[in-house]
Amino acid sequence: MSSLKKKVVIVGGGITGLAAAYKLDKEYKRKGTDIDITLIESSHRLGGKIHTVHKDGFVVEKGPDSFLERKKSMSRLIQEVGLADRLVPNSTGQAFILMNDKLHPMPGGAIMGIPTQIKPFMSTDLVSMTGKLRAAADFVLPRSKGADDQALGTFFRRRLGNEIVENLIEPLLSGIYAGDIDQISLKSTFPQFYQLEQEHRSLIAGIKKTTPAPQMDRNGNKKKKSMFLTLTSGLQSLVDTLEEKLAEATILKGVKIESIDHASSGAYSLKMNNGEFLEADSIIFAVPHLAAHAIFYKKNLLSQFKDVPATSVATVAMAFPKDAVTQVLDGTGFVVSRNSDYTITACTWTHNKWPHTVPEGKVLLRCYVGRAGDEAVVDLADDQIEAIVLDDLNKIMKVEAKPDWTIVTRWIDSMPQYTVGHKERLNNIRKELQSTFPGVYLAGGSYDGIGLPDCIDQGEKAANDVLDYLIHDR
Ligand SMILES: Cc1cc2nc3c(=O)[nH]c(=O)nc-3n(C[C@H](O)[C@H](O)[C@H](O)COP(=O)(O)OP(=O)(O)OC[C@H]3O[C@@H](n4cnc5c(N)ncnc54)[C@H](O)[C@@H]3O)c2cc1C
């Protein structure tokens, strides 16, 4: 590398861009590499989809509220920046599925809706006896033929039948991807299920063999294990701490990147919406795929992204006095089957799942609206969304009172849909990008995993790619 300071620009100040900037900053200090880091964010705050609000003693997450404990990169980053003492696991409890106007307990042992224990599965009324017998066909059905990608719906319907898919698997998956199970790629979302089928033929047998036996309590009952973690101070506190740690980087907020071009110096030129240009030797685009598509539009690159759907959702947080919710809510919340006549798609009983976020004597219900094929509700006015959600809650849980307050947050085109062929499409796009714009990388929720830990992995990998590129390839 020449002695001239190399310029790295990171576009997008969500968790992916922040993780990339932090990694680059740390690594270049460690290796003594001389680089100049600029992080550009189009809005006036960092965090992207992470956004915590503190109100009347509540900690309200407008976007993500937690992350999967088993994916380690988020807790590792939290520890690295000194927030480990704020990590808290979710309180465990019964989760429900709303079907035919009734909340049904999720059968014990179900993993992503896939039954793994006979007794609780046989006693659930979410699936008819015919549906249960159909699911048992999984033990004898052959493996999927060939290694081509397929839709999650195709895979699960073939193995376990339609009823389990519609009443158990789809509501849960839709809670994660807000998507259409018959379009979402198996290989890009749950490759482990394909792998299990290939290795064990039966999906149920494969899961049973590879899942550790549950721990027992003193009375011989299965211990429920918490799967999620969050920060007592809200996820935004990780964003704020990363921003503080990036004191030596330049952070521009309220500046949008409009397009990219080759600069005469051999580097790249980014056009900003304030009319100015910024030069960069290497760039990480940590923005959603539709934003990346717009930036590369004039270069005729990333055009395939325009056909990749992204679903709009809204979160609706409602605070009540405890006695306003008359039905006893003993559990963590529910997801809604598509075979139900409701607008909300899920509801977390936040005061039970995350008790530290809710003051004594209060209840916080955090609902979702909007999913693939059913997004129009997200465009309604706040009071209309509030009225629809309250009407649903009243029917489901007899919530008749008006909330003390409601926070509606719209997330437009926010849930990227990894449709069948996602991996291959992305590989092709990346190859094309590297041949025209070497040293330019894509990372974030639209690409190699939607969860917060996946985004951190991607940000850090992109940072390593940038360093490799600057040190070895130029
Ligand atoms: C409602 C909701 C709930 C979720 N819940 C969870 C959860 O509980 N757990 C979990 O693990 N995951 C959850 N997710 C997914 C997770 O939040 C996201 O995948 C992740 O936050 C994406 O981070 P990112 O940095 O890749 O993208 P983003 O957070 O979208 O950040 C991208 C940033 O780029 C900026 N930007 C865009 N275009 C430009 C441009 N041209 N120039 C400059 N800046 C630009 C944007 O303003 C934005 O700040 C949820 C997502 C949503 C929407």
Specify whether 355 is located in the same domain as 378: yes
Specify whether 359 is located in the same domain as 400: yes
Q: Collect the ranges in the chain with pLDDT lower than 50.
A: 1-2
> Which domain CATH number covers 381?
3.90.660.20
Closest-CA residue, ligand 1 atom 35, reads 12
Specify whether 325 is located in the same domain as 388: yes
**AA letter at 177:** Y
Candidates 242, 306, 280, 243; CA nearest to 11 is 280
Closest-CA residue, ligand 1 atom 3, reads 64
Q: What is the DSSP string of 426-462?
A: HHHHHHHHHHHSTTEEE-STTTS-SSHHHHHHHHHHH
Rounded Cα distance, 43 and 30, in Å:
31
Specify whether 323 is located in the same domain as 282: no
Within a 10 A sphere around the Cβ of 199, how many other Cβ atoms? Answer: 12
Specify whether 426 is located in the same domain as 442: yes
From the CB of 11, is ligand 1 less than 6 Å away? yes
Element (H, E) at 152: helix 152-160
Cα–Cα distances (Å) from 283 to 38, 43, 406, in that order, read 10, 19, 40
Q: 194, 210, 226 — which closes off a domain?
A: 210
Question: Token pair for residue 183?
Answer: 């379009």
> Which domain CATH number covers 264?
3.50.50.60
> Which domain CATH number covers 190?
1.10.3110.10
Give me the pLDDT at residue 328, please: 66
Give me the pLDDT at residue 219, please: 67
Rounded Cα distance, 98 and 92, in Å:
19
Specify whether 396 is located in the same domain as 425: no
The C-alpha angle with vertex 202 and arms to 148 and 178, in degrees rounded to 5, equals 60
User: Which of 11, 276, 277, 287 to probe ligand 1 with, by most ligand atoms within 8 A of CB?
Assistant: 287
Ligand 1 centre to CA of 445 (Å) is: 6
Specify whether 324 is located in the same domain as 391: yes
Specify whether 152 is located in the same domain as 197: yes
Write out the residue range of the structural domain in which residue 22 sits.
Answer: 6-48+238-308+418-473
Residue 101 falls within a domain, yes or no?
A: no
Contact 290, 16 (CB under 8 A): no
Rounded Cα distance, 266 and 268, in Å:
7
From the CB of 41, is ligand 1 less than 6 Å away? yes
User: Which of 11, 16, 41, 49 to probe ligand 1 with, by most ligand atoms within 8 A of CB?
Assistant: 49
Residue 224 falls within a domain, yes or no?
A: no
Closest-CA residue, ligand 1 atom 52, reads 63
Q: Is 102 helix (H, G, I), strand (E, B) or coil?
A: strand
Give me the pLDDT at residue 221, please: 67
Closest atom of ligand 1 to CA, residue 409: 1
Q: 395, 416, 437 — which closes off a domain?
A: 416
Give me the pLDDT at residue 339, please: 82
Task: Give the orientation angle of helix 452-468 with respect to helix 73-80, to 10 degrees.
Answer: 70
Contact 168, 113 (CB under 8 A): yes
Q: No. of H helices and E strands in the chain?
A: 16, 20
Rounded Cα distance, 10 and 18, in Å:
9
Closest-CA residue, ligand 1 atom 26, reads 444
Give me the pLDDT at residue 225, please: 79
Question: Token pair for residue 284?
Answer: 């990480």
Q: What is the DSSP string of 277-341?
A: EEEESEEEE-S-HHHHHHHHGGGT-SGGGGGS-EEEEEEEEEEEEGGGB-S---SSEEEE-TTS-
Specify whether 283 is located in the same domain as 422: yes
Specify whether 268 is located in the same domain as 123: no
From the CB of 286, is ligand 1 less than 6 Å away? yes
Give me the pLDDT at residue 329, please: 72
Residue 223 falls within a domain, yes or no?
A: no
> Which runs of consecutive H residues, i.e. helices, occur in 32-88?
73-80
From the CB of 157, is ligand 1 less than 6 Å away? no
Specify whether 370 is located in the same domain as 274: no
**AA letter at 117:** Q
Dihedral sign, Cα of residue 371, residue 318, residue 74, residue 114? negative
Task: Provide the number of structural domains found in the chain.
Answer: 3
